[in-house]
Amino acid sequence: MCVVMAEAHQAVAFQFTITPEGIDLHLSYQALNQIYLSGLRSWKKRISRIKNRIIKGVYPASLSSWLFVVIAILATMYMQSDPSMGLIAKIQEHLPLSLSLSAQGQTVLSVLLFSTLLWMSLILALRFCLKLLLSYHRWMFEQHGRISTKTKVWATLVRLLSSRKPLLYSYQTSLPHLPVPPIKDTLERYLESVKPLLDMAGFQRMTRLAAEFEKSLGNRLQKYLKLKALWATNYVSDWWEEYVYLRSQSPIMVNSNYYGMDFLYVSPTANQAARAGNTITALFLYRRKVNREELNPSRIPGTVIPLCAAQCERMFNTTRTPGEETDVLQHWQDSEFVAVYHRGRYFRLWVYRAGRLLSPREIQYQIQRILDDPSLPSPGEDKLGALTAGNRKPWAQVRKQFFSCGVNKRSLDCIEKAAFFVTLDDQEEGMMGEDPSVNLDRYAKSLLHGKCYDRWFDKSFSVVVYKNGKNGLNAEHSWADAPTVAHLWEFTLATDAFHLSYTADGNCRGEIEHSLPPPQRLSWDIPLEVQTQVSESLAVAQALADDVDCHVFPFREFGKGSIKKMKMSPDSFVQLALQLAYYRDRGTFCLTYEASMTRLFREGRTETVRSCSNESCAFVLALEAEEDGEHCRKLFRKTAEKHQNLYRLAMTGSGIDRHLFCLYVVSKYLGVESPFLKEVLSEPWRLSTSQTPVQQMELFDLVNHPEFISLGGGFGPVADDGYGVSYIIMGEEMINFHVSCKHSCTETDSHKFGSQISQAMMDLMTLLNPDFKETTKVKKS
């Protein structure tokens, strides 16, 4: 209590007492200095935003180009030539200041106005040209080494218009809008995708439903969708966010949230407080780069083609708040603190003091204070986070009734308005001990759901730092997709290990200001009704967590280097291995979801690649029937080419599922039923897959530091009787897999399926390279 009172006393900038002699005023210069420096930081941020807004507004031109235009116009005027064709004289005639300026002054002012208008017109023209250029996607469909003249000219023009160093959001207004594909094309591609999954009668029935839909309701819905595409920035993203994520009433833990892991082989330090100190610092350095727009825009690897950066805007200071009808994403402009959970207690940790970011050593010092704090949780506090892990509606009702005012609202605000959430876990995780494989599985489950109450699943992301120095994160899905979070986490891990680093004894670097006020313990008044709901939410979440079966394994036999030598796409290779593994596991084929991105378009998010195709099924059946090797290899390459084409179509706005989803939403708004759309949207994805991008920033050389390989991340199964598979292609010689399913389904087993994946990978490589098996034997011997 004394500490809290002392902190409160220091926070008061001035005090006054009324005495018989008058008013006695006491100023706290230290507090006033803190206020001044914090205000100075806020003004610097505002000025930086204004400056960036202007720089973005003139891109792809520069501010200096305005001066060039003015000088050029003045020079031509000096040479008795009028490049404006009389417009400058017209402007001069209508100047309201004509009486107070000399003739020469009026001419100069008219030239400035004309030059500015001309400059702005040129900027708009350049931006329009860049938008047209970025709308060209045929280059993606051209074979490597056989690039057309048209594409070469296009690439040259894009490089010319992108030659200036852009800010993070410089390309946003130049990105094209996502087009609405023709309904006929979407239906044809849909029928092609389900043909290998249906018998003859079932396929004929779906063909009839699709034809009826196209002739009757489909074209009507399509018109509404085209109208939305003309009006909205992106015709998919807002509905996708609302109806797929925010309107869901089931737990977001496991069902929606996903996780990212630490390095596989190394831990930069075994000191929990030190690892937390560097991790928190690295995340705030990333936020600073986002706020200042100092990050380079993400691009398609190997090209200058930019990707949409809109998802970065809500990365920090963001929380998903529950609602009885729909959840809401709340974002705050700034936050100077993080919320920390340790052994059932919540703290607010300020990471800025007097307008400066605390050093990593100071944050470590503050974290150690939390770790050493002997206080016990208040009644109902320790498992309060379970409210965010259970069903959404009960949490919304409890939040509205018991967290809308008083001490509970103040403490909840500290969590929801924090830059992000930090859990100091009292467990040790990672690839360690006598059975590292089992420990990796436990590590995955810990990041995916923890104890169901020691994470705040509503935050945009929560960082978990374990007792042995390992870390990881759990991310909420509605605000962004995995590549955006992977970009953040890649920066964090690299900055932690290579830029900030540690002393020889494992502590953070930097000096400590010992006068720092201690982290603020959050206070709660949790009535019995809330505690009862906490218990109910925890029971729901615990049942869900116990049912999840996770298996994480590094595949080390070969990587993308060997696959590329066979002139094969690594992603297509892995996807075909998954098809083969699933067929061997279940004896059938299934609807397969592979996540692709549509960030070539403004505010684009994801699209589905239906990886199970007629070609993939024909190849798997031929391989399992032990048909001729050369025939199987031809089918393999044909299947890989088909997969690559499906992926390109999805990236360029010609996918299947987002279009059908939006048509379904329009039908619901109009109050009409479509048997076709209803059936399509109810089909289960029994194999849901995703590749985690790697080395998006190239902050260190993976070849020279192979021990700093990331494990990637994973997610829970989408279908109760299916698998979730995430994979990350690390370096040239490793692919890490994350497999999930549910114990309650007797037909699924993550370890068994993991073994099937490994065997399928080996069999496919042996098919492409018959000498591979002998090479593997030599390596093992």
| Of 177, 342, 449, 477, catalytic | 477
List the 337-342 sheet strands across, edge first: 520-521, 345-350, 337-342, 421-424, 461-465, 471-475, 258-261, 713-715
Cα angle at 496 between 492 and 500, to 5 degrees? 130
| Residue 359 near residue 215 (C-beta atoms within 8 A) | no
Dihedral sign of CA atoms 198, 200, 203, 209 in order: negative
Task: Supply 227's token pair.
Answer: 């109208």
DSSP for 5-52? HHHHHHH-SEEEEEETTEEEEEE-HHHHHHHHHHHHHHHHHHHHHHHH
- Amino acid of residue 597: M
What would you measure as the largest C-alpha separation in the chain, in angstroms?
107
Q: In angstroms, rounded to a whole number, what is the distance separating the alpha carbons of residues 151 and 137? A: 9
CA 98/CA 301 separation, integer angstroms: 56
SS3 content of the chain, % helix, strand, coil (to 5): 50, 15, 35
Peptide bond into 60 cis (omega under 30): yes
Angle at 476 between CA 416 and CA 309, to 5 degrees: 100
Beta strands (DSSP E) in 504-652 are 520-521, 548-555, 592-597, 606-610
Q: What are the helix (H) ranges across 162-252?
A: 183-194, 200-213, 219-231, 237-239
Residues 455 and 446: beta-carbon distance below 8 Å: no
**Who's near 172: CB < 8 A, 6+ residues apart?**
56, 308, 309, 310, 602
With a CB cutoff of 8 Å and minimum separation 6, the contacts of 458 are: 252, 319, 320, 321, 322, 388, 416, 476
Confirm if 654 and 185 have CB atoms less than 8 A apart: yes
By DSSP bridging, strand 592-597 and strand 687-691 are parallel
3 state SS of 500: helix
CA-wise closest residue to 48 among 259, 288, 285, 208 = 288
- CB 177: neighbour CB atoms within 10 A? 18
Is 631 a known active-site residue?
no
Catalytic residues: 477
